[in-house]
Structure 1
Amino acid sequence: MGDSDDAFESRNEAAARMLTNRRSPRRDFDGILRSHAAAAGVELPRSPAHPAPNIFHRALVEPGAQMMVGGAADIGFEGLMEAWEHAGPDHAETIERVRAAHRDAALSGIDLLAESPFAKGLPGLLRAIEEADDRLLCAAVRACTKASGTLAVLLQQAVHAPGILTHLMSDVMWDEWVRVGGVAPDGVAGEAAIAMSTVQYLIVPGWAENLERYRAFMDTHSAAHSIPRGPRVVSTSHVP
């Protein structure tokens, strides 16, 4: 990767190329659901981890691409916080709490951003896959694929039983998983979503246990509101 100015500029150029012709939607999936619910006079719950309203906001996607290419050091904590401020101007209180937590950790000699599983960017994520035990990797792919299939069924059922969304969205895994890879459409986008979930399963402390808990939670609601299942969203034929 390199620490020289030329290396830094090269990484920034690579990140910019990743975003060429990429449109940033006005709302992400979460925002679309909330907009439709609000129009019907319903306020959907927010989990304790709820971040900025649109995680695909251009202000977040650009530094996200930089982090994927060069790691956390290329953007820095303040750069990341400034991006969140632009994406969520109404979330000043939450952002300040995050800043305070990082300041307190820094005073104790801990760099929370550097300890993030995503601190080394894409090279670090690929290394986590390469170094994973074969059995654990297969278990992670299977668990993430099954969870996405269950989620797809529940979202279909939510058309007939809207209360399902209230239960799904009140859990921390709505923000830590559903919004960032839980919804896995058929094709390349779905495969990428499963891959990202698999990486989180492998490297984020406690994430695997939370996904298993959430899947059991989803299974309970799926059985309670059972309707005929449509096609699975992601094929599992390639899963060991």
Structure 2
Amino acid sequence: MRIRVERGTEIDDENRFYPIFVSLEDRVCLVIGGGEVAQRKVAGLLRFGAVIRIVAKDLTCRLEERCDGTRVRWIGRDYEPGCLDAVDLVFAATSDVELNRRISADARARKLWCNMASDPEMGTFIVPSMVTRGALNLAVSTGGASPALAREIREKLEKEFGPEWGPYIRLMGYLRKVIQSMGLESSENQRLFRAIAALPILSWIQEGRRGEILRGLQDVCGPRLGIEGLNALLDELWKPFSSSSQPCATPPEPSAT
């Protein structure tokens, strides 16, 4: 790790990208390029509710299919600085390295964040390799040094964190809200949170042992839990696994770009 001191502050030169999760709902994202790299960028952005403008002379068939004129709009011309007007994020995803660098420079001049497909470390933000399990997002980045290594680490995480983590996180979020609504003392809330976390709920989900989940939570929380609401949630969580008693048998969700 290389540390330099600037104006009395230590700066880590090997980790210059600050990890952050950003809401893109209804944010305008400009993707410049119409090939497979741009196609992957657009697919990832759509999952998080972005409004997308694509600047390119030609598009892949899949990209063209996505252009509906509202959520995804195709601007069929070459890039020019004016394309950066009224956008929130920029993705330079062309096959022309020099053009990508020019786009990045133009974005910097306007104080816009820009992701560069060809030179990730030269952009102002990078898109990590991700594993998504419901509300759980695991992001992996090498700071642009080795995207291939980031993908390899992501693939290992996909095996370690299977699809059962999606319903597990959702269930834990539900229980947290229920307990907070009980009007208990903060110390009692914390005791219940710790007791629930100590239950082998993840294993019970993996093994399809719904009855064990109900009994375990009743033992910890007592009648205040509200079994009807919990049963309704479990009904919903179990739907994707109706053809199998084991949730982990279902295929994993696709990773973000």
TM-score computed with the length of structure 1 as normaliser: 0.27
Structure (1 or 2) with the greater helix fraction: 1
TM-score computed with the length of structure 2 as normaliser: 0.26
Structure (1 or 2) with the greater strand fraction: 2
Structure exhibiting the larger radius of gyration computed from Cα positions: 2
Which structure is richer in relative contact order (CA contacts within 8 A, separation 6 or more)? 1
